[in-house]
Amino acid sequence: MKKQKLIEITDYDKKETGLFINKNKPLKLKNLDIELPEETPTKVVSLRLPTDLLNKVKAFASQNDISYTSMIKIILTQGVDKFV
Provide the residue-wise pLDDT of the chain in tens; the chain has 84 residues: 566 666 665 655 666 667 667 778 777 777 777 777 778 888 899 999 999 999 999 999 999 999 999 999 999 999 999 988
**Domain ranges across the chain:** 51-84
SS3 readout for 32-70: HCCCCCCCCCCCCCCCCCCHHHHHHHHHHHHHCCCCHHH
